Structure 1
Amino acid sequence: MPASTSAAPSAVASSDGSSSGDASTRPNCPTGQLGVRLGAAEGAAGSTITPLVFTNSGSTTCRLRGFPGVSFVAGDDGHQVGPAAAEDGARAGEVDLAPGRSAHALVRITDSRNDDNATCVPTTVRGLRIYPPGDTAAAFVAAPQTACAQALLLHVETMEPGAS
């Protein structure tokens, strides 16, 4: 799939490879219009890289611009554990998402066993709270694991076309 571009302010790469007309008129994708899931994880040195996939379940094309918000959550109340994901990369990708199409952002999760227990404070989490770019309503994705209450384990990249 072609990479998204922001070279021309009036054109934005779409998840199907086409470009939109006036980039300023495309609405942000609201959480309620998106299906959110984790893609297939790949191991890396001391971490796992997983695509966070957003699928437009609505009937209109919308835009995902920038970085999603990602944090670990635990307990029945869904309280946040540890710091929210750090944004990796300098550019803010833009993807126009037609109905039924998907886009993704890569999430790197550092293995909590890389930190000593005093710095980490190991905590069992239920999954991830996800804020699509430009929205304040969150989605939840189940991903039980051990996270650190005191150390940064999450890093997120900007939006890219396709369901990687």
Structure 2
Amino acid sequence: MITLVAAGCAGTSGTSGASSAAPGKERPSDGYASVPAAATVAPDDSAGSEPAAAGPGSPRCRAEDLGMSLGRAGAGAGQIHYRLSFENRSRASCTLRGFPGVSLIRRDGSVIGVPAEREGGMRDRTVIGPGRTAGVTLHTLNEGIEDSGCWDRPDYLRVYPPGSTEALTLRTPQLRICGDRFTTTAMGG
């Protein structure tokens, strides 16, 4: 599995979660990559909430408390699915609800294609216990299914967890988007 760290946001407001900022240097001792994000999403007043026990009062998961990994491609009937998992690295349960903002980023910080579109409906909030994971499914097509070809492979995957103004950045060249189809399900999807 590939792991990432949260990167703070600065700059102007946008909804795509994409950035044109140049990537930072990878820390060789721990395998983490840090790519500063330039775009933000609307501020969330619960961002500073302290984690609490699971239940109706569990706060939203903060990017700084999450790890992220991307599973291998699963193919079938011309469709490709990748499982994008979020791990709660805090000591208390937290919740995520909604769609993440997902963009493909080159080494120089430029965006490849467009951010992932939403696929399917909203789901109930997902409570993630300490050390547990929850995720979304990223969807694309096999090469040759559509005439539009495939996008360049990314160096990084930039993800804004639902409700977050801070991005998680994952170094991964494995995601390949073809047929101009790039979607994400909501949490729990």
* Structure with the bigger percentage of helix: 1
* Structure with the bigger percentage of strand: 1
> Normalising by structure 2, what TM-score?
0.62
Amino acid aligned to 2:101: G
Instruction: Find out whether 1:51 has 2:83 as its counterpart.
Output: yes
Aligned-residue RMSD, C-alpha: 2.4
Instruction: Find out whether 1:66 has 2:98 as its counterpart.
Output: yes
Instruction: Give matches, 1:13-52, under 5 Å.
Output: 20=55, 22=56, 25-52=57-84
Residue in 1 aligned with 2:123? 92
Aligned counterparts of 1:112 and 1:72: Cα–Cα separation in 2: 18
Aligned counterparts of 2:136 and 2:82: Cα–Cα separation in 1: 8
In the alignment of these two chains, the number of paired residues is: 135
1:124 and 1:40, CA in 2 relative to 1: closer, same or farther beyond 3 A? closer
Q: Choose between structure 1 and 2 for higher RCO, CA contacts under 8 A separated by at least 6 residues.
A: 1
Residues 53-72 of structure 1: per-residue CA shift (max 9 Å, x gap) = 11100112111111111111
Amino acid aligned to 2:167: A
Q: CA deviation at 1:121?
A: 7.7
Q: CA deviation at 1:144?
A: 1.3
**Unpaired stretches in structure 1, ≥5 consecutive residues:** 1-18
Aligned counterparts of 2:135 and 2:125: Cα–Cα separation in 1: 11
> Equivalent residue of 2:152, what SS?
strand
1:153 and 1:127, CA in 2 relative to 1: closer, same or farther beyond 3 A? farther
1:44 and 1:121, CA in 2 relative to 1: closer, same or farther beyond 3 A? closer
Instruction: Find out whether 1:109 has 2:137 as its counterpart.
Output: no
1:75 and 1:40, CA in 2 relative to 1: closer, same or farther beyond 3 A? closer
> Equivalent residue of 1:160, what SS?
coil
Instruction: Find out whether 1:153 has 2:181 as its counterpart.
Output: yes
> Normalising by structure 1, what TM-score?
0.70
Aligned counterparts of 2:173 and 2:152: Cα–Cα separation in 1: 11
Amino acid aligned to 1:75: R
**Unpaired stretches in structure 2, ≥5 consecutive residues:** 1-53
Counterpart contact for 2:107–2:156, Cα < 8 Å: no
Counterpart contact for 1:72–1:147, Cα < 8 Å: no
Residue identity over aligned pairs, in percent, reads 31
1:30 and 1:152, CA in 2 relative to 1: closer, same or farther beyond 3 A? farther
- Out of 149, 153, 168, the residue aligned to residue 139 of structure 1 is 168
Deviating 4+ runs (over 6 angstroms): none
Amino acid aligned to 2:113: G
